[in-house]
Amino acid sequence: MQWRKLRNTQDHSVSIRSKPNCKRICYNGSNRRTPHRRQTRPLLSVAACHFSLAVEMSQTELKPQPDTSSVDRPSRLSPATALVLVVSGAVGFAIMGDSLLYAILPLAAGQLALSPQQVGILLSANRLIRLFSNTWLGAIFARFGPYRAFVISAILGVLTTVLYGFKFGFIVFLLARIGWGVSWSGLRQGTYQSIWTGDRADAGRLMGLKWGVVRGGSAISALIGGFLFDHFGFQTTVWTIAGLSALSIPIAFGLSWPASASPQHEENQANAAADSPEASQKQTGNVRRSEHEILAGWTEALSEPLQRSVLLVGFFKLLLNSILVATASVFLADRFASYSGGVLLGLQVGALAGIVLGTRWFSDLFLGAAMGALADLVGRIRLTLVLVFLLCLGLAMMLTVQDNMSFVALLAVLIVSTGVNVVLDAYANQAALVTHHPQMFVATYATASDLGSAVGPLFAFSLVASVGFAPVYGIAALLVVLALLYLVMLDARYTKPQTPVSGGL
């Protein structure tokens, strides 16, 4: 009797010890536990179980195991990055016609029977209309979603480029430029909303990537167009670039926009899908409310000092940039003292202007993403201060040297402006995300920037003819520097309690 009790105790202890390592016996293939029998079978079963587990483990070790680290590792090209690349590629093709005009229109004014004042109006008209079309397109994107609005914008952009090649006179040319302004409002809004699909911490890199791809199209257009203009004239050059620009249409049709690109549109669709009087009432209220979105966007943008400073810098920065780009070919012609030819590498002024503007826009392609990542890494405050110093130094050299060195200095100034544009757009993008209507703030910021872009070419040619290049460039640069320093001061004040090391938003 005592021996039997001892044996049962030993069997039970063996079974208890074997339970944690033997689910095959204890759980019978499910979560339901099966009791052990108080016989010698559990000992044999436990031994068999351990033997089979040992065999399975040895076989598993011999089999090649999949690399789970590669499965869990995120892909190098995220969905947000891919969307930004494709959207920016479509915009890069669409913008080719507009970029071409800055390189060759001031030089072709005589062939087209245009006065210098008319050239300034044509280069400003697309920006003047954007003072209104930016907010219109922002509301359209919010109400109907990005797909249809972006496709229509791409088609309109190609049609306006084709019209440049017909010698219909100043009025038709002016209407084409106005049409391009409306098109660019939609194309640019699409690029911003593609960036919204990514992480906020990655906004600087995506913004730089966006401008790099878009300005890559501008650079190709300026480089090819400058050489074609010198050898084949204005009309052939425009239609060649229009053929390249047409590639934006199939890209726009093939885009697939995620819901995160337009959260407000998704809300409108959900309300429309609900077949109820309450939903209809809510949708009607949204339509009425959208009529006041333009005013609400400006009111909200002007409500905070930091947002106001972003708008101010956007105006002055684009004022300087538009003056430099619009008068680049005339500046080079003045430095080389001839409109018909140049002395640098035996190239004519059209080719030189194409090289200058192409390099400036190619700097977006190569430096834009790097500047954006650098801003995310070291902080936009520190990067902004460095860029301000380099911009002032480059302008001083450009206005004091002559001939070949002025060409190099102009290149340097335009390249530095790339970094300033990326940093400023990153400021604007982050400011938009903290507002109640981000589409409206983006449209408001774009409108302020376009106002500066429109004023620049509109008065640049007449001012340069009256007082020369140095006062025009110098005053515009001074305004940019003061506005940037004011923005840096506000940014440091608002973000110091939260991110004392990053140097800014």
394-414 tens-digit pLDDT:
888 888 887 778 888 888 898
Predicted TM-score (pTM) of this structure:
0.68
Q: What is the mean pLDDT of residues 271-282?
A: 47
Task: Provide the mean pLDDT of the chain.
Answer: 76
Candidates 196, 240, 249, 248; CA nearest to 79 is: 196
Q: Does the structure show a pLDDT above 90 at 435?
A: no
For the four alpha carbons of 379, 385, 386 and 392, in that order, the dihedral sign comes to positive
Cβ distance 259 to 266 under 8 Å? yes
Highest mean pLDDT among 281-285, 307-311, 332-336: 307-311
Least confident range of 145-149, 308-312, 365-369, 469-473: 365-369
Per-residue pLDDT at 496: 55
Confidence of residue 444 (pLDDT cuts 50, 70, 90): confident
Cβ distance 226 to 358 under 8 Å? yes
Cβ distance 403 to 415 under 8 Å? no
Provide the H-helix boundaries in 274-402.
277-290, 293-301, 305-326, 328-335, 349-378, 380-400
Domains of the chain: which residue ranges?
80-256+303-495
Per-residue pLDDT at 494: 66
Torsion angle of alpha carbons 255, 258, 264, 269, nearest 10°?
80
Which residues lie below 8 Å from residue 435, measured CB to CB, with a gap of 6+? 300, 301, 307, 441
Pairwise CA distance, residues 55 & 1, whole Å: 40
Pairwise CA distance, residues 342 & 101, whole Å: 20
Q: What is the mean pLDDT of residues 205-215?
A: 85
CATH superfamily of 80-256+303-495: MFS general substrate transporter like domains (1.20.1250.20)
Which residues lie below 8 Å from residue 369, measured CB to CB, with a gap of 6+? 205, 208, 209, 212
Q: Does the structure show a pLDDT above 60 at 313?
A: yes
Per-residue pLDDT at 289: 53
Per-residue pLDDT at 185: 93
Pairwise CA distance, residues 140 & 390, whole Å: 40
Task: Summarize pLDDT for 35-73 with one digit per residue, the tens.
Answer: 444 444 444 444 444 444 444 444 444 444 444 444 444
Q: Does the structure show a pLDDT above 90 at 88?
A: yes
Q: Does the structure show a pLDDT above 70 at 287?
A: no
Per-residue pLDDT at 125: 93
Least confident range of 41-45, 107-111, 130-134: 41-45
Pairwise CA distance, residues 456 & 450, whole Å: 10
- In a 10 Å sphere around its CB, with 0-12 CB exposed, 13-18 middle and 19+ buried, how is residue 474 labelled? middle
Q: Does the structure show a pLDDT above 80 at 473?
A: yes
